[in-house]
Each structure stands twice: as C-alpha cells, then as structure tokens.
C-alpha cells in the first residue's frame, strides 16, 4: 500500500480483474493519512476459510495421535504380569457384540482366571479346572486340562460352566491375550468373542 495520493491494490469480489479464489483486483486512490481502509469482504472470507481448514487439519492430526496412542497402549502380557494376581471377568461379548449373559450369575463371585507357574486355573464355576499353559507371542496355549466332576444343582451355574468351557478349550478357540491401557486383561478368541478381566487382590493366606 502507498500513501500520499498514490494508488494501492485492494482485493474485492465482483469487480475489476479476476483473481484466484473468486476475487478481483481493483485499483483506487489510497485513503487519506490517518484513515484506516476497510478490510475488503473477500479477504475476510478467505481468512475465515483458511482458519476453518487449519482447524480441521489440527483436528485430524489430534484424532490420529489419539488412535496411535490407543494402539500403542495395548501390550502382550508377560507370564510375570499374568501370575501377579487373579483376573475377574467384568465384561464378555460374542461376535455380534452382545453380552454373554450366561457367564454372569447374580449372587456368585465372578468367573476368575488364576495363572501360576505353568498352570492356569478357572475359578468360581461349579467345578474347578486347571490346565498347563504357556504363551506363544500373544497366543495362550492350554494343554492337559483337568476338571472336578461335582454335580451342578443350580441350572444357572451349570449353564455358566458349560459356556465357560467354550471360551478357551477346543481347536477353534485360539485365544489371544492383551493388556489394555487400564491394566485389564483382554482375551479374544477365533470365534470373535471378547472377554475383559480386571486384576483382583490375591487371596489372603
């Protein structure tokens, strides 16, 4: 911009020579000294659009960082982490995302996993079960399982035990383990079922 009666170049919409962004260039005498030229409407609109696009870009970056953080937060547990405490079932869903109600019996302690050196026990069912276990990457391998054979009088408890047997045992289960960012143990099997176990205190000696 030049002062003292010399001409200045301004951007306006709808007049003069077309420019990029739908604006045009118009030459007119500069305003008198001390007077502030009005900001052309088109410039204001361009500024608002650029601000809006920058905000969208930063939002996309923030979402990407959040997703990346969540992905990094999940980790494969070690045997030391698994054996540090029992794990109580708090959530279970099938492949369609529906809650597996049979695994929860009102008034009874939750279905619990207990890892000890070389063994995984399943507790708070009608019968107690135990299997040799080892980890292969994030996979849980169970072998040589044994189970008590008490008669389950409560039909809901019986149904719970039968449903629990299908989670980890059988060739089509192939459970994998992960610790999420809250410290919960997340178990997924080949059938698309997802189980979430929270750490529980060790039993009193």
Give the C-alpha separation, 160 to 172, whole Å: 20
- For the chain, the domain total comes to 2
Q: Both 55 and 90 in a single domain?
A: no
Residues 68, 143: Cα–Cα separation, whole Å: 36
Q: Is residue 83 in some structural domain? A: yes
Q: Is the pLDDT of residue 52 over 60?
A: no
Residue with tokens 């149904």: 159
**Are 97 and 63 within one domain?**
no
Residue 2 covered by a domain: no
Judged on CB neighbours under 10 Å (0-12, 13-18, 19+), 93 is middle
Strand order through the sheet with 7-12 = 7-12, 24-29, 17-18
**Quick one: average pLDDT of 146-164?**
94
Segment 169-193, tens digit of pLDDT? 877 788 999 999 999 999 999 999 9
115 and 189 within one domain: yes
What's the pLDDT at 72?
A: 43
Higher pLDDT, 68 or 137: 137
Question: Which domain, by its residues, includes 11?
Answer: 7-73
Most confident of 3-7, 89-93, 125-129: 89-93
Q: Is the dihedral of CA 65, 74, 86, 79 positive or negative?
A: negative
Q: Are residues 51 and 136 in the same domain?
A: no
The answer on 86 and 64 residing in a single domain is no
Quick check: 48 pLDDT over 80?
A: no
For position 50, what pLDDT does the model report?
58
The Cα–Cα gap between 177 and 185 comes to 7
- Model pTM score: 0.64
Question: How high is the pLDDT of residue 169?
Answer: 85
Residues 180, 94: one domain? Answer: yes
For residues 8-29, average pLDDT: 45
Whether 205 is in a domain gets the answer: no
Which one is predicted more confidently, 20 or 112? 112
Q: Examine the fold and report which residue of 53, 73, 93 is the final residue of a domain before the chain moves on.
A: 73
Both 191 and 175 in one domain: the answer is yes
95 shares its domain with 142: yes
64 lies in the same domain as 146? no
Q: Are residues 185 and 156 in the same domain?
A: yes
Instruction: Name the pLDDT band for 12 (thresholds 50, 70, 90).
Output: very low
For the domain that residue 182 is a member of, what is the CATH number?
2.40.128.270
Q: How far is CA 40 from CA 4, 53, 66, 103, in A?
A: 21, 20, 40, 68
Q: Examine the domain organization and report whether 31 and 63 are in the same domain.
A: yes
Q: Average pLDDT over the chain, rounded to whole?
A: 77
Asked if residue 126 and residue 107 are part of one domain, the reply reads yes
Please give the helix or strand (H or E) that residue 54 lies within, else none. helix 41-73
Nearest to 125 by CA among 149, 94, 101, 158: 158
Write down which residue in 73, 91, 116 finishes a domain. 73
């Amino acid at each position: 911009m030049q002062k003292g009666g010399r001409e200045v170049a301004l951007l306006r919409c709808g007049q003069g020579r077309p420019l990029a962004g739908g604006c045009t260039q118009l030459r007119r005498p500069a305003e008198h000294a001390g007077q502030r030229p009005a900001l052309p409407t088109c410039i204001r609109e361009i500024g608002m659009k650029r601000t809006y696009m920058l905000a969208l870009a930063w939002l996309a970056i923030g979402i990407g960082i959040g997703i990346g953080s969540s992905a990094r937060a999940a980790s494969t547990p070690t045997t030391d982490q698994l054996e540090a405490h029992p794990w109580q079932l708090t959530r279970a869903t099938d492949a369609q995302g529906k809650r597996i109600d049979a695994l929860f019996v009102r008034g009874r302690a939750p279905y619990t996993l207990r890892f000890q050196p070389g063994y995984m026990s399943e507790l708070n069912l009608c019968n107690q079960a135990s299997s040799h276990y080892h980890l292969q990457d994030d996979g849980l391998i169970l072998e040589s399982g044994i189970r008590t054979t008490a008669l389950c009088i409560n039909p809901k408890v019986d149904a719970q035990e039968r449903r629990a047997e299908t989670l980890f045992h059988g060739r089509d289960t192939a459970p994998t383990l992960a610790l999420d960012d809250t410290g919960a143990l997340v178990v997924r099997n080949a059938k698309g079922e997802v189980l979430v176990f929270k750490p529980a205190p060790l039993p009193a000696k």
